[in-house]
Structure 1
């Protein structure tokens, strides 16, 4: 059953976009929620999907609309899950080098200096990739596009740096 009929120009008008939004929003939200079990993040992902739908409305075909939407949601959920894993690794790294006692702040400062040294000694493009992802909060996909590599390539650079840092502090404990 076809819910939408696009004219030959394959143009998604504002009215048809609103209809697509009303029909698919709930479905996509629950589909997304099955992946990530986070209501706010699911809403954000679905809003991103509809934003992309709007920006690509001139390229859409009626027969592939549903597939396009569900694929986009799935991919954004997978990106979200990957990002959460990296955040968890960063949290673990942070826990390795943080202390609760105020008299240990000097040690903390030394460790921060050691991390800065490790980062400054990195070769390019690893150094820039790590800096953009961790300090400038850029998404892997953005950095990957900038360096003309895959998101897995970005992940490999990040993991390399995290291994170096983790190795520096695990041997001291």
Structure 2
């Protein structure tokens, strides 16, 4: 159930969503920088999947998962790591098990593009989690402002992906 994403191989495996009206594009492009662990919403100790993060901001993220792992409307918890630290179980996440709801799951080459919306209201640590998510958003923003790093990251952009933006439209009923 683990998808292996080599940063250099991702552009061939992932393409932008075909139906833009069904997607959420978060503010900061994160492919090649962030990775995520997705846990069951009802039992946060049960790991569902490990994934690449396509884009991220304080309100949610778009992940690349295997088909059938999650469904729209499903509650999950997501931890975010620097991509190089994702497989090291001893590294503390940048944001740990933030409650989220799957907003959409859209087929793309190599799996599903899954949009999750963070639900801070369900956590007693909402302020702390939101502050950490903002810090990750700032880190990604600073990274994208670095011309040398930015040039390398543009090579990772999936075909048809539009950087920036903010929630466009969400799938009805989610």
Greater share of residues in helix: 1
Query: TM exceeds 0.5?
Result: no
Greater share of residues in strand: 2
